[in-house]
Structures are given as structure tokens and as C-alpha cells.
Amino acid sequence: MKLFDKTVAAEVASKLLEIRAIRLQPDKPFTWASGWKSPIYCDNRLSLSYPEVRNLIKANLIKAIQHHFPNTEAIAGVATAGIPQGALLADRLGLPFIYVRSKPKGHGMENMIEGKVTPGQKVVVVEDLVSTGGSSLKAVADLKDAGFEVLGMVAIFTYGFDVAAENFKNAGIDLICLSDYAAMLPQALANDYIIDDDTLASLVEWRKDPSVWGK
């Protein structure tokens, strides 16, 4: 996993905090589906409602794709939050767009992948958020099973967990992110989303071991 650009990472993090796509609540932690307690909740779908932020994200994801994956022939969004982001990128790049379901459609054609399946086509996967990487890499595996050549993945934000880095390394997939947790903390501190040392220390501790934080 790598950041596209450190300056972009700071700007994107600042904007996500500003529109409350990223919320920090160490005193009232969120509970993830995994059962983990978390002081942060990230909902990048909110960026779609703010044209300035939406365009900032779109422009830099396009730059990331053009720089790291110049041979891209199609864009694949991961359902559900990666669908609108991916469609925006495909439209600007003039490329075909498809998306990958988390499970096959329960009726009709029962598709896992929606859109034209073209075996051998070079595709870049688009995610809004990467945590452990499990669902993202499942989409990659589904695309490969359908015959696509997956060049890599781009995402708006990642928590930067070691387990995610290991999962992507083992899968042989390059992940390029616009921003991450490490880039977000200084922006939160500078803009008073973090107001004391105890809060900062709690946020740092969560990042070290989220599975036991808050227990």
C-alpha cells in the first residue's frame, strides 16, 4: 500500500474531516461489523454531495491511475461505495465501467459482475475505503475468475493496518490511496478535531492494535 502524494493526502484528509465524512469519537466509539471498537468512522460516500470535494477526489484518483496504471482498459467499482466513484472515473477517462457485487444477484442472470465481461481486459479496481482489505481483495479474485487482468487498485482512504498491507502483498495487488490514517491525524490536530493529548494518544493506540482497543 502506498500514498499517491503526501500533499494530496493532507488535503483530502482535511476535506473529509471538514464535511464529516471522517468522524472522530474516542469517547463514544463506533462498533464495526467485525465487533471492533473504533474511535473513527469514515463514510466517503458523503463526498459525493460536495462538488468541490468530489472533484478533488476524482481528479487525483485519475492522476493516480494514469501514473501507476497507464495501460488501464476498464474501471471496476466495488459495490456499493466504489460504484459511483468508479463510474465518475470511467466517464472522465472514456473507459468501460463494470462493478463487482459482494455476492451474486439473487434473481435474473444472478451476476457477480455487472457490465460487459471481457476476458483479458486490463482493469483497475476502485474502492472508497480499505480497512483489512478482505472485501476489496474478494472483488479482485472475482474479477480474475471472470478472466480480467487486474492491474491494481485505487482508494480514497485507508486505515493503514498492517494486516491490510500483508493481505495486498500476498495477493500481489498494488494499492494506491489518496489519504490514510497517518496523514489524517496531523490535519485533525491542526484543525481542532483533536483538542487534547489524551485524545491523540487514544487515537494512536487504536491504530496500533484496533482488535483490543476499548476493551
| 150 in a known ligand binding site | no
What is the value of pTM for the model shown? Answer: 0.94
Where do the domains of the chain lie, and which CATH numbers do they carry?
2-21+45-185 (3.40.50.2020)
Q: Average the pLDDT over 11-39 and give the result.
A: 93
- DSSP helix/strand/coil, 12: helix
* Share above pLDDT 90 across residues of the chain, in percent, rounded to a whole number: 85
| 134 in a known ligand binding site | yes
**DSSP category for residue 22:** E
| 67 in a known ligand binding site | no
| 133 in a known ligand binding site | yes
| 135 in a known ligand binding site | yes
Is the Cβ–Cβ distance between 76 and 104 less than 8 Å? Answer: no
Q: Give the other-Cβ count within 10 Å of 152's Cβ.
A: 19
| 147 in a known ligand binding site | no
The reply to whether omega before 80 is within 30° of 0 (cis) is: yes
Beta strands, E only, 141-208: 149-158, 175-180
The C-alpha cell 463506533 sits at 30
| 129 in a known ligand binding site | yes
| 107 in a known ligand binding site | yes
Residues 6+ apart with CB under 8 A from 198: none
| 101 in a known ligand binding site | yes
Alpha-carbon torsion, ordered 13, 86, 45, 100, to 10 deg: -120
Q: What is the pLDDT of residues 162-205, one digit of tens each?
A: 999 999 999 999 999 999 999 999 999 999 999 888 899 999 99
Q: How confident is the model at residue 110 (pLDDT cuts 50, 70, 90)?
A: low
Q: What DSSP line would sit under 98-124, residue for residue?
A: EEE-SS--SSTT--SEES---TT-EEE
Residue 73: C-alpha distances to residues 50, 85, 111, 117 (Å): 28, 17, 21, 12
In this structure, is the dihedral angle defined by the CA atoms of residues 179, 180, 182 and 186, taken in order, positive or negative? positive
| 131 in a known ligand binding site | yes
Is the Cβ–Cβ distance between 73 and 122 less than 8 Å? Answer: yes
| 61 in a known ligand binding site | no
| 73 in a known ligand binding site | no
Q: Average the pLDDT over 6-31 and give the result.
A: 96
| Whole-angstrom distance, CA of residue 161 vs CA of residue 148 | 27
Q: What is the pLDDT of residues 84-108, one digit of tens each?
A: 999 999 999 999 999 999 877 655 5
